[in-house]
Structure 1
Amino acid sequence: MYKFLSQFKLLALLVFKLRAYFYQSVNVDETADKLKLTYLCPNAKKASGGTKVIYRHTSLINGFQLADVSAQIFHPKNVLFRCQWFFPNLHFKNNFTFDGKNEVYVINEMWAGREAKLAHRKGIKYMIQVQGGYDIFRKSDWKAVYFAYQHAQLITCVSQDIYDCLVFVFPEFANKIHRIHLSLESDLFKPAAVKSNLITYMPRKLKKHSDLVLNFIKNHLPSHWTLVPIDGMNLEEVAQLLAKSKIFLSFSELEGFGLPPIEAALAGNLVIGYIGEAGREYWLEHQFHEIPCGNIKGYAQAILDKINAFDDGAIRHTQFADNISLLAERYNSEREINDLKVLIERLRAEIR
């Protein structure tokens, strides 16, 4: 069995490398006016926030149960691959043949420069889904990226910061950009009735910085406070830990949206650290404390100051109730669903 799986993976990789010969655009009469969105998705060994958005949006669009609209996920590196996100109404594409009239290939920003050129050459309609405004040139040069955005049907983004980045770089394509507001799982991320003296952080984010900060405070951290890394946990375990902790350390770096800090805030944490640029959208006063990126001494001192404030009763997690309600309302599922429905209407208009 292991030998068979290894051989299949090698074959899948070969097909991906030679995909230029497999991609094709055909006219499919039986899908006359049926809009189909095909989301390109990486084979993420560890499910990431970006792949979760792709799976969620596919699920939501199919959940609309529109007779003339459907969505599917496409893993071109291995068409049988599945990320570990469990959503209803998921469909998957298992071939490289596209309906040239009504199918729209949804390409993420990191692959846009590479895949858009191929799609355009093959007569495949496509749009670009941008979840990281600072990743648009990550795997391609400026010329290839410009070509991709020039010929895209539409461009979506998931934060104000991404929108601002795109308009700054490509002002001539501003009319193509459509904002989709992500929703937060406020029913999952919520504070525990009784919190513990825990400080949580994600060690994979700017590890050099987090290691430095932890070493700077090591000799000053009160014995009744504990630092707990969030690593190797599933979503429910992360939510349970954030519910109990009082302080979350943000090491966000040039994020597209930055879910961990806002999820920590929903769980009643005081958030200290880097804003990651996109975090400016939700960095609310009193609950979020910004540290300039690289100011390690200032970061360490801020943690110690906030610990003292918690110990003295000057800060209590119950003081964040209004912020939590505001964030939950601002990023609710109804708004995300409405943004997706508007996207569908714009795509209908584009391809007809």
Structure 2
Amino acid sequence: MKTKIYFICPSNNFASGGVKQIYRQVETLNKNGFEAYLLLKKKRKKENWFNSDVPASYSPLIFKQLKYLYKQKKINFFRNIILKFLKAQSKKIEADSILVFPEIYGPDIHKIEPEIFKVIFNQNCYYTFQYFSIRESYKTTPYNHPKTLATIVASKDAERYIKYAFKDTKVLTMRLGIDDKIFRYSKNKEKQISFMPRKLGDDVMQVINILKQRNNLKDWALVPIENKSEAEVADIMKNSMIFLSFNHKEGFGLPPVEAMSCGCYVIGYTGQGGKEYFKPEFSSQVEDGNIIQFVERIEECIEKYERNSEEILAKGKLASEFVIQNYNLNIEINDTIKNWSNITRIKN
């Protein structure tokens, strides 16, 4: 009998690389001989910002337990009644299963279904200690608990971080893949600068308004990407010559890589995890928080494009080729199969 693998997955109304990667892992595993499910808080409406069709189970109980734990709520009589009520509505997790938790749920993940084996899918190492306290010493964490089989990360930077922070944990790296059928290279670029304003809103506001005040944009359009489907995001990127990266403490940071795949020249922050793909041959790295340098790099790129558009177009083509070679779906699929074959061997 196959081991059932349940991925605890938050539901988002906005585009989220983390949620998309959970869906993708479940999809990949089921296509390659494993039995995997999303484990959601409640029966879902299909995420409308990307296409995926994967099996799901539901456990309002686990999500409520997680909430009580990371908010440090004591289980009083009333809360115990709520938990019993939710248990009756929730999927019973089989004893031989594996529960996969994102890093965002804090220091007590191992207390959920304590007899069940677990894996941490840590997509952003900089969120690892989000609900930890500086007043406590954690001798046992989800990362070094004997029931934790491994921690999966998505970049070299994240691997280094987790291994340094938790020296006894087993870390497996899964390189992320970009679907180049969706984020497809396009040479038909417009004088368009696209960006995602959801993170680092203060920095976005400063960079965009300084650009407008200096009046050096000429006939270039500024296009924010928000509340769009995956296909709509890709269309904007395919039309954009420049993409602005406001990566902030990212384990990897998908949007700049997706933009590169579409042939954009990317300018901005690496967010640490992005250091492995921000190459000077086809992108321009900005020191975190350096607003003036950010604007200067954008203006320099505009000036170069106006003087010789082929130079910037060639860099966008080079960026796309780099992504297709180093971050394609086959690499992600192979890493996923290899990692989970390793995990199931450890478990058995």
Query: TM-score when scaled to structure 2?
Result: 0.84
Distance 2:200 2:248 in 1: 7
Aligned to 1:72: 37
Deviation at 1:344, TM superposition (A): 2.4
Distance 2:38 2:340 in 1: 16
Aligned to 1:149: 143
> Does the alignment pair 1:213 with 2:207?
yes
> Does the alignment pair 1:124 with 2:116?
yes
Aligned to 2:329: 333
Distance 2:222 2:282 in 1: 19
Deviation at 1:347, TM superposition (A): 2.2
What are the within-5 Å matches in structure 2 for residues 82-101 of structure 1?
Answer: 82-84=46-48, 85-93=50-58, 95-100=90-95
Aligned to 2:179: 185
Distance 1:294 1:351 in 2: 44
> Does the alignment pair 1:137 with 2:129?
yes
In structure 2, the CA distance between the partners of 1:47 and 1:271, relative to structure 1 (3 Å rule), is: closer
Aligned to 1:61: 29
What are the within-5 Å matches in structure 2 for residues 210-289 of structure 1?
Answer: 210-218=204-212, 219-289=214-284
Distance 1:117 1:306 in 2: 51
The counterpart of 1:52, out of the listed 17, 20, 29, is 20
Distance 1:232 1:190 in 2: 20
Distance 1:293 1:257 in 2: 15
Equivalent position SS for 2:107: helix
Equivalent position SS for 2:141: helix
Aligned to 2:155: 159
> In the alignment, is the contact (CA less than 8 A) between 2:265 and 2:312 conserved in 1?
no
> In the alignment, is the contact (CA less than 8 A) between 2:265 and 2:319 conserved in 1?
no
> Does the alignment pair 1:313 with 2:308?
yes
Matched letter for residue 124 of structure 2: G
Q: Which runs of 5+ in 1 are unaligned?
A: 1-32
The counterpart of 1:200, out of the listed 194, 199, 211, is 194
Q: Deviations over 1:141-168 (max 9, x none)?
A: 3655942111211111111111011011
Distance 1:295 1:319 in 2: 24
> Does the alignment pair 1:304 with 2:283?
no
Q: Deviations over 1:22-79 (max 9, x none)?
A: xxxxxxxxxxx42111000112232411111111111111111x2xx3000101x325
In structure 2, the CA distance between the partners of 1:136 and 1:351, relative to structure 1 (3 Å rule), is: same
In structure 2, the CA distance between the partners of 1:344 and 1:296, relative to structure 1 (3 Å rule), is: closer
> Does the alignment pair 1:38 with 2:3?
no
Distance 2:202 2:20 in 1: 27
Matched letter for residue 235 of structure 1: E
Distance 1:49 1:289 in 2: 22
Distance 1:78 1:88 in 2: 16
In structure 2, the CA distance between the partners of 1:334 and 1:249, relative to structure 1 (3 Å rule), is: same
The counterpart of 1:172, out of the listed 168, 175, 191, is 168
RMSD, aligned α-carbons = 1.9
> In the alignment, is the contact (CA less than 8 A) between 2:106 and 2:130 conserved in 1?
no
> In the alignment, is the contact (CA less than 8 A) between 1:72 and 1:93 conserved in 2?
no
Q: Following superposition, which runs of at least 4 residues in structure 1 exceed 4 angstroms of deviation?
A: 79-82, 142-146
Matched letter for residue 206 of structure 1: L
Distance 1:296 1:139 in 2: 30
Q: Which runs of 5+ in 2 are unaligned?
A: 60-89
Deviation at 1:234, TM superposition (A): 1.1
